[in-house]
Each structure stands twice: as structure tokens, then as C-alpha cells.
Chains A and B, each alone.
Chain A
Amino acid sequence: MLNSVLVANRGEIARRVLATARRLGIRGVAVYSEADADLPFVAEADEAVPIGPPPPGQSYLDSAAVLAAARQTGAAAIHPGYGFLAENPAFAREVLAEGLIWVGPPPEAIEQMGDKINARNLMAAAGVPVSAGSAEPVTSAAAATAEAARIGYPVMVKAAAGGGGIGMSAVADPAGLAAAFETARTRGMRFFGDPAILLERYIERARHVEVQILGLADGRVIALGERDCSVQRRHQKVAEETPSPGVGDELRARMLAAAVQAGHAVGYRGAGTVECLVDAVTGDFVFLEMNTRLQVEHPVTELVTGIDLVEQQFRIAAGEDVSFAPDQVRPRGHALELRIYAEDPVRFLPSPGTITRWEEPAGAGVRVDAGYTAGNKVTPFYDPLLAKLCLHGQDRDEALARAREAVPAFGIAGLRTNLPFHADLLASEEFRSGDYDTSIVTRLRP
């Protein structure tokens, strides 16, 4: 097993990765920006190294500063968490060139999946279903018009290097296309340094369902069930659950098999997620993209399988077997994750501030992965995720009942949070029924 690991991330995910390291007797090193010096992940690490000022470009995205911290502390491995440098193949290569262990997939796999157009083509060639869409980058508004006519409206316009819903929009007819193309191109340049655009057929009533895969040290790829991530605002996830109420056994079997094929196609190692769209009308699915890292919502999979995914990442990175029998995984019960964001619960606008009160709910089937506590300052420099409130029950009804108790028991003061939104979500008939799609938030907050 590894003897030490540096976590190149912040907030709840840094804290969560460090917790598993501690449990396994691995020395955990944190890096932090000036804005994060007082956060729990810094206090809980065995060692913590300041790496720069608050803006991400000068700290968490500064690969030289992260590598210098690894050298200074003698860390043997780097775990990137999600976001920041996690899906940067150049950084993964630098880590390996330093003689360190990269707790992530091979850089080639990150690269192949990082470009959405390349990933689509690769998946189609591997026999994984993809929607009608661009096989090469769309470089002008005129080309976008021609491409949209070929694909058929409505279309989704996206930045090929994008993520987190940034720069993405659905277009119903030719009138809105040029503006959507420009938005995607400028956002793609600004956030990802890449203006390449792709168009895909837009599915009007879609569920966003993803499959957790693990590429094992011996080359096998296994699937650990799906997560339904259809509750989204601005194309960003707000709540996730497993199993998906919209996926039956037959569809699940096909999706899991396709995800394994996807992993094999890129020689995947470690934890990854194959994101798909399920057409709620036809019941078919298409490949959307692959996230070559640990996913924010991985706890729901951990709750139903009893598997610590970060432990498996460490084991696979060290060339070891996983801690469970891969052919004997039997998910148990139902799990739900509610993302607690620092934002107003109506318009979902950011709400930075200082946390004056922080009381987490507890009890049977309740797990809280939090990045903050009372007295911490939530700054505008990073994403608004404060904590993930996760619930496990014998079935969906029990998980939801636990959520209805836990949400009002989560006491946060000093800034606005979306907890009232979660209360409304849990009370809504649409969510309760399980028959919802990616537009549910728009219906709850018209």
C-alpha cells in the first residue's frame, strides 16, 4: 500500500480523501490556498502546505506549486480529487515523470476522454451507443447551422473541452443557434482554453444516468451500478440517487455492459464514471461523456455497495487487488445525495459569507461529507459546494423519509443555502414518484 499521499484539492473532497488515507495508515498531505487556511481539511491533514493566493490559477491549478509541495513533504503519491487538475493529462504526466504515483487513470485515457468529440467517436467505434452529433469540431456559426440541419432540431451546443455545464445550451430552432454557438465558443476558450464546439441531438425528456466503473490493476474493468443525476440547475447536479428509479433491470444490464466496454476501449484504470442520457420516452440510452476521476456523488455508490471507492483508488494505483470480490458485489437498499450549496434557494445565485452556525444531522443511514464548519469563511473563489448530505435506506421510501428528517435538522447560519430547495424537492410529488427528468428543477422553480 502507499505510505503517503498528497491531496491536490480542497474542501469536502480533500477532507474525504484524507479520511480514507488516515484509516489505512497512509500519511496525508494537504495543500491549500490563503483563502482556505482555516478549513477542516487543512487541520485534519498530517501535514499541510500553503501553495498560493486564493485565485485557483495561482494555487490549486498551479501544477508547479503542487509538485513542489510533494517534493517538500516527500509524498509518494498524488490524489487529485475532482475538478482543478484531476482531468489534466499534462499534470498526470508531470506527476509520473517526478517518479510519483498518480492516483488516477493513465494520462492517455484522460486525454482521449477529455475531448468530447474524440470520446464520442471512440465510443461509437467501441459499440457504445451515441446520439446523432458532430464527428469533428464545428468551427463557425455557418457550419453550426449546417450541422444542426443534418442532426435535426432541437440540438445541444457544447464546448468540446467543457465540463460542469459551462457554455452548454439547448437550441430549439435555427434562430437561436448563432448566439448559442458564440456562447459555447467564448466559454470554451475562457474556461478550458479550447474553442472547439460540438452539436448533439437534444433529448427533450432525458434522465441523466451514469455508471461507476473501476479499472482494476490486472486490466479488468467492472461496473458498480448507476447513479441518477437528473436533478440539475444550470446543467449542474443538485441531487443524485442510486438505483435510478427510471432504469429497469434490462436497461441497467445494457448500460453497465456499455460502461465496461467504454472503460476497456481506453485501457481504463482506477475510478471513473460513464455518463449517459436515458430518453425517458423511448427508454433508450446514449453515451454522454466520461469523467476520468472520482465523482462528486460517489458516496451514494459507497452507501449501497459498502465499498470505499477512495481505498480502491489507492489500491489500484499501488498495483494491488481491490478489497472486495469483484464478481460478488450486491448493492443493498437505496441511497440519495443532496448537495448543499452556498446559494439562495430560489434563484440559485451564489451566497458567499461567514458560517456562524454549523450543525450536521446524524443518525441511522445519515452520512455528511462537509468541507466547512462553524467560523469558516466561504469565499467567492471556488464552487459553492458546502457539504453533501447522504442518506441510505432499505428502499427508496426509507431513504427519502430520512432525507425529510435530515434536511431541517441541518443547521447552517451566516449565509444562504439551498436547504429550503431540498425540502421542496423532497416534498414534490414529481420527485417522490421517481418519474422525473432533467427539467424537474425548472418545474419546481419556474
Chain B
Amino acid sequence: MAEVRAEMVANVWKVVAAEGAQVSDGDTLVILESMKMEIPVLAEGTGTLTRLHVAEGDIVQEGDLIAVIE
């Protein structure tokens, strides 16, 4: 199981992957936006995206859980 966490305070601009989807290492899961910059959050590992903890428009804090891949 791999947990993907936010590296910084940011707004969730786009959710790219859907819960339950098969993802590969390096796939874009969501795109965060902070300080006028888009920051893609990538899958760390290959598997099923079992949980997606954020929705578009959410604000995440540094270290917040974004997704779980199993």
C-alpha cells in the first residue's frame, strides 16, 4: 500500500484519476495549485487507487493524505 500526501499547502485544482482506477507509477492523480503554480501529484507505485481523499476546490495542508494505492 502506498499513501500519497500533499507536499505543501495548496488548493485542489483538478482531480484527474477516479477511485477504483488502475494507476501506474508516475501517473497524474490530482493537480494542486499553490502560488499560481500547478503541481501535479503523481502515483508512487502501480496498483488500484483504492481511496481518493480530496475533491476539486479542497484546500490541503502539508502532509495531508491525498490518495491510497494498493
A positions within 8 Å CB-CB of B: 164, 166, 234, 342-343, 349-353, 379-384
Contacts and interface: CB of A to CB of B under 8 A. Distances in A.
B33 interface: yes
A164 B34 contact: no
B34 A352 contact: yes
Interface string B16-56: 00000000000000000111110100000000000000000
State the majority secondary structure of interface residues on A: loop
B9 A382 contact: no
A19 to B, nearest CB: 25
Contacts of B37: 234, 349-350, 384
Contacts of A350: 8, 10, 34-35, 37, 39
Given A166-B36, A343-B35, A380-B35, 20 more contacts: A234-B37, A342-B35, A349-B8, A350-B8, A350-B10, A351-B8, A352-B8, A352-B35, A353-B9, A379-B9, A380-B8, A380-B9, A380-B11, A380-B33, A380-B59, A381-B11, A382-B35, A383-B36, A384-B35, A384-B36
A349 B10 CA distance: 11
A382 B7 CA distance: 17
Contacts of B10: 350, 380
30 contacts: A164-B36, A166-B36, A234-B37, A342-B35, A343-B35, A349-B7, A349-B8, A349-B37, A349-B39, A350-B8, A350-B10, A350-B34, A350-B39, A351-B8, A352-B8, A352-B9, A353-B9, A379-B9, A380-B10, A380-B33, A380-B34, A380-B35, A380-B59, A381-B11, A381-B35, A382-B36, A383-B35, A383-B36, A384-B35, A384-B37
State the majority secondary structure of interface residues on B: strand
Contacts of A352: 8-9, 34-35
Interface range, B side: 10 to 19
Nearest to A352: B9
Closest CB pairs A-B (n = 5): A380-B34, A350-B35, A350-B34, A384-B35, A352-B9
Contacts of B8: 349-352, 380
Contacts of A351: 8
Interface core residue of A166, A349, A353 (most chain B CB under 10 Å)? A349
A248 B36 CA distance: 36
Contacts of B59: 380
A166 B37 CA distance: 9
A353 B33 CA distance: 15
A21 to B, nearest CB: 27
A250 to B, nearest CB: 38
A343 B9 CA distance: 12
Contacts of B34: 350, 352, 380
A381 B35 CA distance: 6
Contacts of B11: 380-381
Contacts of B36: 164, 166, 382-384
Nearest to B8: A350
Nearest to A416: B8
A349 B32 CA distance: 12
B60 to A, nearest CB: 9
